[in-house]
Every structure is written in C-alpha cells, then in structure tokens.
Structure 1
Amino acid sequence: MDKVVIIGVGLIGGSFARALKKAGAVRHVVGIERSAAFAQRALALGIVDAVATDFAAVADADLVLLAAPVAQTGRILAALAPHLAPGTIVTDAGSTKADVVAAGRAALGDKVAQFVPGHPIAGRETNGPDAAIDDLYVGKKFVVTPLAENAAPDIDKVAAAWRACGAVIHRLTPEEHDKVFAAVSHLPHLLAYALVDDIANKPHADLLFQYAASGFRDFTRIAGSSPEMWRDISLANQAALLAELDAYMAQLAQLRTRLAAGDGASLEAVYGNAQRARRQWIEAIEEAEAPPPTDTAE
C-alpha cells in the first residue's frame, strides 16, 4: 500500500502501523489523533511518518483504520465521509460490531460499501503509543465482519493488511461477533474491574493488596485496560453482556448454595469441569499457534 491513515495511534493503531512497516507492506503512514501529545509521540517513535489534524488526509489513502473508542465511530466516519475517495477502504478495530455497523450506515450513506468492519483479537493492559509493538498481532485472530454491500476485493484488501501483520483471519457476522465476545471478552473485563474495585473500596484495602499474589494479578490483569474504552464496549454491547452477566450470576448463586451447604463433592465437580475445559482450550491454542515443522531433509 502506498498510504495508510490510522485514526488513533495508541496500542492498537500504533501496533498496526509498526507491523505493516516491519512487513514492508506500506510506504507512508499518517496518524490522526485527538491527543496532540500522543500524535507527536507516535511521530517521534517512528510509528507514523506524518501527523494530520484534518480528515482530508484520508483523500488519497489506500486504507484507513479507525482505532478509537467505539463510541466515537459515528462521529469519525461522518467527519471523513466527505473526503473519502472511491478507491479508499475504511476498516476499524472496535471490540463491538453491531453498533459500529449501524454507525457506519448512518454516517457513510451510499459510501458504506467502502467500510469493512473488523476486530483484532489482541491487546495489552497498557495504552498509548509507547505500548505499541510490531508483533502484537502475530498468531492472533483478526475477525472480519463484512457488510452485504462490501465487494470481495475490498474484504480481501483488509484481510491482506492484517495478514501482513501476522494475524490469522476469521469471519463472523456482526451479530455473531457480539454474542461471542460478550461471553469471552466483555464479561471477563467487567468481572476483573468489579473485583479490583471491590477490594480497593474495602477499609483494609492496603493490607489486602499487600498480600495479593500471582493468582490475583493474573485474574485481574485486564483491569489495567482503558476504562474509557471498556465503558464504551460495555454500553455498546449492553444486551448481550447483560445476558452473559445474568447467566454468570446464576452460576455464582449455585456455587454459593453448594458452599453454604458444605457440599464439597459438587464444588469439586464444577472446579474439575472448569479445569478440563481450560486445559483443552490451552492445548487447542498451543496447537493452532505452533510453528510449522522445519524440513530437515537434505
């Protein structure tokens, strides 16, 4: 690609830029960032080659990536729509998709065919340009959630960009995406935030944190993520997240009943089932991410 414009040059957008550059897949990267400090930092780090404050910068781009909080999607798309040339494809990295698709249709009108939504399944608990790394997406999934209006070559163009970053391409509908990630991403974040907030509000919080060890750290790692981003995700996927939260609360109520009754056998059964399921999941991940065998034949 000759030119890529990235709107939001923090962890996700910055890592996308770094990965494309490392792969030699782009000649020129322009960053658009609401924080002037972030923009200048991304420029100083070499994440972008130039910064812009006007959405007219997308006019001659091959690809535009929206890597901003999902609640900003509609506003951003509406601002860049007048400058969107016929050959430019826009994609996003939002963690919810049904709301993003609705925002895209409202903001882009007859240009919505140029918008190919997607979601990279990767991240870290740190934010900003300094958190961006060039291998964030290697071996990770990128879920493309195309629209009926999207042309196959445009979907392929988005997939090829993420493939150049090392991602493995998957495809879901926006509705399928939001149901899946309510369970395996959005609910875990809500739970991690809730637990840390609960501990932090206790009168002896300092003592509790003093003795919190690796298990607590691992369980709550994702509570270090951006509160603004996860506020927007939670509200954007409210219905699916509420359904998962209700199911989880029912599970907790059952566990409480078993614990109160001193029913060790049924507690162990739940723990054992969870252990087996997690081991199978980890083994599946390790198998999927294993490097191909090296051919040593002479």
Structure 2
Amino acid sequence: MPLIQRLAIIGVGLIGGSLARILREKGAVVEIVGIGRGEANLRKAVELGVIDRYSLDPVAGVEGADLVFLATPVCSIIDMVARIAPALAPGCVVTDGGSVKGEIVAPCEKLLPPGTFFVGGHPIAGTEKSGVEASFAALYQGKRCILTPTAQTDGEALRKVVRMWELAGSEVVCMDVEKHDRVVAAISHLPHMVAYSLVNAVGGYDRFSENILKYSAGGFRDFTRIASSDPAMWRDIALMNREAVLEMMDFFSEYFAGLRNLVEKGDGHGLEAFFARSKQNRDAIS
C-alpha cells in the first residue's frame, strides 16, 4: 500500500519537484497536487509528469491531502501554514523543507488544528538551479535529511515523514531546533555567505580597468557555484537564522585572520600546518 494517498506540494521547484519525482518512481504516492503562484511552472510540472494536477489556491489545493510538503521560502512558511490550516483533513501531516527551524516549528505547531500534525524538516540537498525543470529523482539519494521533532510531535506523523525521506534515499537524522540552526549555519549558511562575499570582492577589485572575473577558472567557479543561488531566498535565510549565522561568520573571521597573520609573517611551517589540518578535516568528510 502506498505511503501517501494524496500529497500536496506547495512550491513545485527543485526541492518539491524532486521529492515528487522520487516518490512517484517508488510507488509511494497515489496522487500529487502541485500548488504555487506561477501557473507556467505548474503546467510544465504536469507536462513532465511530476504532478497530476495543480491549484493556484493553497486552500483548495490541500483539500483531502494526507501529507502536505512546504517547499516555499522560509519567510513564507508560517503564513502559508496559517492559511491552509482550516482546510486540512483530519490526520493530515504537514512538513517542510526550510533550512531554518527555530522561527518556524513552534509557531506552525500552534497554528494547526487538533488532529493534524506538523513535523519540521530540512533535506540537506540542492543545486543552484531552480524551477521544476531543474528537479530530478536522485536529488536526495545518499543525502541527509534533518527532522526536528518536539515534545508535541505526534509519533505516527514523525514515522510517516521519516519513511518518506528514507524512500527518497536520504539518511534521516533527528535533532532539536537550536542544534539544527547552528549546524546548518556552519555547513550551509556560512559557505553561502563566503561565496557571495568572494564573488563580490573579486568582481569589485578595481586595480585594473576590467572585471577580472572573466579570468576565473575551475577552482574559483567550483568554489563559488553556490553564489548563483536565489538571492531572495538567501536574504530570508540570513535574516531568519541571523544569530547563528553571525556567530559562524565571527568564528570564521578568527580563522581567516589567523591565516592572514601567517601569510604576513611569512611563516611557511605555520601555513603548511594550517593547510594540512584543513586537508585532514576535508578528507574525513564522508
């Protein structure tokens, strides 16, 4: 028997579309309803077989769904949950893919009517591309998905969301919301802040009468790929996880200042040790 009878996905782009593709491929869902504001994108999703039908009205779109997945910008999740809450069917499970949890989970739990359930989630996967045409079934394969259950989380609802992400190919890890926000500030949000800053710094370097970004090669392009991500999305993430992001930016600044000091002093042994420690840490990533 399929895990989900009717799945409503609010935001059928890379994240939502990829989840729809893999769950359909696994036979884990009977019907998929796409919800969003861009009708052209939703039409394309139907043409591609990612969803069965769509609605521009979130309230109508979630009717009869036993699972709702929110793949919208983090700043819109609370308002969207408030909007759809009265229309949710008894037993419906609502979960999300937002990369910030501290400002989302508790408010969403309070908004849902009795007999419906919220499970905070964050699949750690993605590319710099967006839109349903960027989605693909293997996006979550071998990746981790963090769920953030609380004392109020329903056990059956949690098990259903865990199973959904396992079917998508992810390793599911549960942690509290504060740990989640600090972990992702380090492994995801900080790298984006660094990449955006690096591209702006190099692009703004004015010693020469030309933009030297045109000389960038593989290393620079690989390192800064994520700076092509959606600016509005990352604006919202930086603001909603501001405390943890600032902490990690300050922590990073200490290491960067230390490296600068080694270069300034011409400390070859110190530089090699710094780089060797970094290589060791990087090589240990599984």
Letter in 1 for 2:259: L
2:10 to 4, 7, 12: 7
Moved more, 163-172 or 63-72: 163-172
CA contact (8 A) 1:73 1:103 kept: no
Paired residue for 1:82, among 82, 86, 97? 86
> Equivalents in 2 of 1:74, 1:275: separation in Å?
41
1:71 aligned to which of 51, 69, 75: 75
Looking at secondary structure, tell me which structure has more helix per residue. Answer: 1
Q: Which letter maps to 1:73?
A: I
Q: 1:113: how far off?
A: 5.9
- What is the percent sequence identity of the aligned residues? 43
Residue in 2 aligned with 1:211?
215
- Equivalent runs, 1:84-233 vs 2, <5 Å: 84-105=88-109, 107-108=111-112, 110-111=113-114, 114-203=117-206, 204=208, 207-233=211-237
Question: Residue 34 in 1 paired to residue 37 in 2?
Answer: yes
| 1:20 aligned onto 2:40 | no
- Structure 1 residues 130, 229: closer, same or farther in 2, change over 3 A? same
Q: Matches of 1:257 and 1:190 in 2, distance apart?
A: 22
Aligned with residue 270 of structure 2, among 266, 276, 280: 266
1:279 matches 2:280: no
Return 5+ residue gaps in structure 1 as ranges: 286-298
- The runs of 5 or more residues in structure 2 that have no matched partner are none
Q: Contact 1:122/1:137 (CA < 8 Å) preserved in 2?
A: yes
After superposition, the Cα gap between the structure-2 partners of 1:194 and 1:21, relative to the gap in structure 1 and judged at 3 Å, is same
What letter matches 2:251 in structure 1? Answer: A
Deviations 1:163-209 (A, max 9, x none): 11111111111111001111111000110011112222234585522
Letter in 2 for 1:165: A
| Amino acid across the alignment from 2:162 | A
Structure 1 residue 59 displacement after superposition: 2.3
Question: Compared with structure 1, are the counterparts of its residues 197 and 46 closer, same or farther at alpha carbon in structure 2 (3 Å cutoff)?
Answer: same
1:172 alignment partner AA: M
In structure 2, give the amino acid aligned to 1:271: F
Q: TM-score, normalised by structure 2?
A: 0.94
**TM-score using structure 1 length:** 0.90
Aligned length, in residue pairs: 281
Q: Distance in 2 between matches of 1:145 and 1:20?
A: 22
In structure 2, the residue corresponding to 1:256 is in which secondary structure?
A: helix
Secondary structure of residue in 1 paired with 2:34: strand
